[in-house]
Homo-oligomer: A and B are copies of this chain.
């Protein structure tokens, strides 16, 4: 099974197991060494945010059970909640069929968004209007004092 890849998994039956060790080198990072990672609240199923991981932040996330992204703007590891206290505890991590996107079920403490909102996806486009759909849970000024 050491030459397993995502293409081969397509035909696998439900419940089939493979060694992560053999699969992890087949994860498709982009030209910058990054992969998109979606965070979904495990119980409410709300999609909270999408950010990026590199190989090491993915490894850290799996090992520690706390979500660590790669910040493209800061070019550094972004241990979610390190500054704000609003951590993401990993419940489940899944790859898509091509191995080029990650879905994480997480338990998010408070807001996932730097604006203080629960989810980053608060701008709804409908017809010719964009509408703000939620209020901050915490003012961003208070969020980054912690």
Count of this chain's copies in the oligomeric assembly? 2
Expressed in whole angstroms, the minimum distance between the Cβ of A119 and any Cβ of chain B is 8
Q: How many of chain A's residues have a CB under 8 angstroms from any CB in B?
A: 55
Q: Hey, which chain B residues are within 8 Å of A143, CB to CB?
A: none
Query: Nearest CB to that of A4 among chain B residues?
Result: B130
Assess the B130–A18 pair: CB atoms within 8 A: yes
Q: Hey, which chain B residues are within 8 Å of A46, CB to CB?
A: 45
Knowing A9-B123, A114-B97, A126-B92 touch, does A132 contact B49 (C-beta < 8 A)? no
Chain A contacts to B: CB under 8 angstroms:
6, 9-10, 12-21, 23, 36, 38, 40, 44-47, 49-50, 62, 92-99, 101, 103, 113-115, 117, 120-135, 140
